Amino acid sequence: MAENSKKIVDQGTYGAANIQVLKGLEAVRKRPAMYIGDTSARGMHHLVYEVVDNSIDEALAGYCTRIVVKIHKDNSVSVEDDGRGIPVGDHPDYKDPPKSALEVVMTVLHAGGKFSKDTYKVSGGLHGVGVSVVNALSEWCIVESSRNDDVYSQEYIRGVPKGPLKTLGIKRKNGTLTHFKPDETVFEKRDFSFDTIGNRLRELAYLNKGLSISLIDERSEDEFQKEDYYFKGGLAQFVTFLDENRTSLLSKPIHFEKERDDVPVEIAMQYNDSYTDNIHTYVNNINTVEGGAHLVGFKTALTRTLNSYASKNRLFKKEGFSLTGEDCREGLTAVISVKVAEPQFEGQTKTKLGNSEVKGIVESMVGESLSEYLEENPSVGKRIIDKAMQAYRAREAARKAKDLTRRKGVLESGGLPGKLADCSLRDSEFTELYLVEGDSAGGSAKQGRDRRFQAILPLRGKILNVEKARLDRILSNEEIKTIISAIGAGIGSSKSDDERDLFENGENGGFDIAKIRYGKIIIMTDADVDGAHIRTLLMTFFFRYMRELIEKGFVYIAQPPLYRLSKGKKEVYAFDDQERERKMKEMGDGKISYQRYKGLGEMNPDQLWNTTMDPERRTILRVTLNDAAAADRIFSTLMGDAVEPRKLFIYRNAKRVKNLDF
């Protein structure tokens, strides 16, 4: 008893007074990452999307036709729309003291019109925390609501009203203007990217045909940068845009748009001369990067419909033959958009649609619409089947090559003599694989590494450009086979219980993240043109054939220093010209010599470890996939056959280039 009493006394410092209650928006400011993911540039840009989503919801409800987003000189952002404006009357639940509906929306979590289907039939922002979170994480925020020929305004400082709602005494068309500046005490950097915001706004304009969206950047000293996004053709134009750098097989995209059981479905698809599929899915304008019910319904219907059409029209040479899903999707670009009143999201990032009823709706709609289209356009149908048959023949040729790349068959048979310097640990949570440019740098990395958890794979020259090759040719490339074998997770589409058609006929292939041998795949190349090219080739390969590596954060890029500075016995490193100048000033007067590294091979093993490989001191960049459509377009531009788009890209981005070696 005495011992138990002593324990109670010892725990006495933890009592009711220790239970902290965060009021209002304090919780958001205390744990911002819980609401916007992180406080990096990605999280800061998310603030813009939250405000824009409110305007998009007004467009979905039929009340908004134009949205204007401005990046101001002070890196604040304003979003203006011509919707109904936020209600400004007193809210019935706040009487002592009274609060306007606008103030409630801006300062109370889970407050908004999106929970009532009388207000919004469908909505992108489902949790009602969007604009209040933006307000909480802003240094200041000003909201103006135009309703009934009056303009009402309220200003907030870090989420707290600076004063009551006031009338400005001016007349303006109905709408909402939200102007905010991210809080410097929350975000690491406050520098908005025109391209990042523009990619999302373009995407929204395609998904909401007839909606006009403008992006204006007032920070340029010469003239404002401006882009207008307006697409009357909607998803059909989206597919054309995505395939702009490829050769299309059809004169125009196939396009369906129907509503069934109160679920509007719009799909556009086009076949091209590439060797991978490129399918993007959306629910209420949310990019469902992990797919879900609507994607499964589409894939199932596509495979069944094409096989049925080919059999019926005797396009197969063998009786009882059928194409796989992979065959039917080679060279396919498609965009699927559904609007669901009560979407259920699941998956690691909550971007996978779980509504089972949507699978049947999409499956039946695609089956009916595509069958009807093919019957009316037999020449198109024959072209699609011919493309799928070519894919089938290439897949058969690749089967043996794929077997050779499996880790058990290659690694245990000595398929990597002298190339892969493996680590002793086997737990992928702790292991790292460095893909190193050249044998010289590979030798330094092998000597300088920590053998317990760091594996080194030197690459000789440039790997094959997978953007221009089918899988059978890709798997005959020695460097690529070595990479696949070392990583150990296979190649191709990810395994999924909902997508069994990827692995029919007893094939054991496919990418399986559970079999990965290393928790970090680190690309380490020289800081020159050739090094950049090799990085791009590797990134293209991962994006096309091991995308889950990128989606789940396994891929990194090493950041070796560009300069070594020395003064007497003191030695420091600089990663760019600006850092070199700063460190030279810090080192003070006297003779300071510096060496510019032209390649990793010039660094001694200890230098490579100290600057680039030591987890305690190195800087590595994690490769993320925020916008799959934009990434696809970049890779097809840089690595595809079309020359003119690549020249235009280089011309537009030439001024951003630093440290260019010839």
Instruction: Indicate the helix (H) or strand (E) that contains 566.
Output: strand 563-567
In the annotation, is 437 catalytic? yes
Angstrom CA distances, 613 to 61, 202, 424, 617, 626, stand at: 53, 39, 17, 8, 27
Choice among 82, 526, 548, 551 that is catalytic: 526
Q: Position 115: which residue type?
A: F
Give just the sign of the alpha carbon dihedral 510, 511, 517, 522: positive
- For residue 135, report the phi and psi dihedrals to the nearest 5 degrees: -60, -45
Q: Enumerate the β-bridge partners of residue 585.
A: none
Q: Which residue has the tokens 């400011």?
A: 29
Q: Position 53: which residue type?
A: D
Choice among 57, 363, 422, 437 that is catalytic: 437
Angstrom CA distances, 475 to 259, 416, 518, 526, stand at: 43, 15, 21, 26
User: Is 646 exposed, middle or buried, given 0-12, 13-18 or 19+ CB atoms closer than 10 A?
Assistant: middle
In the annotation, is 150 catalytic? no
Choice among 155, 257, 403, 528 that is catalytic: 528
Residue among 518, 294, 256 nearest 372 (CA): 256
Q: What is the C-alpha to C-alpha distance for residues 226 and 216, in angstroms, rounded to an integer?
A: 4
The C-alpha torsion from 315 through 321 and 326 to 327, rounded to 10°, is: -30
Please compute, for residue 262, the number of CA atoms within 13 A of its CA located in the half-sphere on the CB side: 7
For 303, the token pair is 């495979």
Q: Could you tell me whether strands 212-217 and 66-71 are parallel, antiparallel, or unpaired per DSSP bridges? A: parallel
Choice among 90, 507, 530, 602 that is catalytic: 530
CB 134 within 8 A of CB 49: no
For 148, the token pair is 């009934």
Neighbours of 553 (CB within 10 A): 13
In the annotation, is 530 catalytic? yes
- Name the residues annotated as catalytic: 437, 526, 528, 530
